Amino acid sequence: MRLLNKFFVSYDIIKGPTILYLNRLQIGRIHFHPSKKNIFTKQNGFVWIYDNRDVEFSSQIKNFLIYTAEPQEYFRDVCINIWEEEYGKIR
């Protein structure tokens, strides 16, 4: 989490629009805003949240996780916790 705070200065949580896929609904997304120290990307990183507790990462977030050796499962749990603090439990 310390690395996340160093390379991304803030985030926005956006609920909706709900998008229907075959086995899940996209219920929202989290935008992570990079800091000036972020050597991995100068663009926002996106995380899409689904109603089945699935999480999908943009290429900026994937690169961050690869370069810092952060486990995707750990970051997935962080994103779910961020979402649930704002909007409550996901199904």
Q: What is the pLDDT of residues 66-85, one digit of tens each?
A: 888 888 999 999 999 999 99
Residue 49 structural domain:
2-87
Strand order in the sheet with 25-34: 8-20, 25-34, 45-50, 55-57
- Per-residue pLDDT of 21-56, as tens digits, reads 878 899 999 999 988 877 767 788 899 999 999 999
* 9-19 tens-digit pLDDT: 888 898 987 88
Q: What is the token pair recorded at 25?
A: 């609904």
Domain count of the fold of the chain = 1
Alpha helices in 24-89, H assignment, sequence order: 59-68, 72-87
Say if residue 2's pLDDT is above 70. no
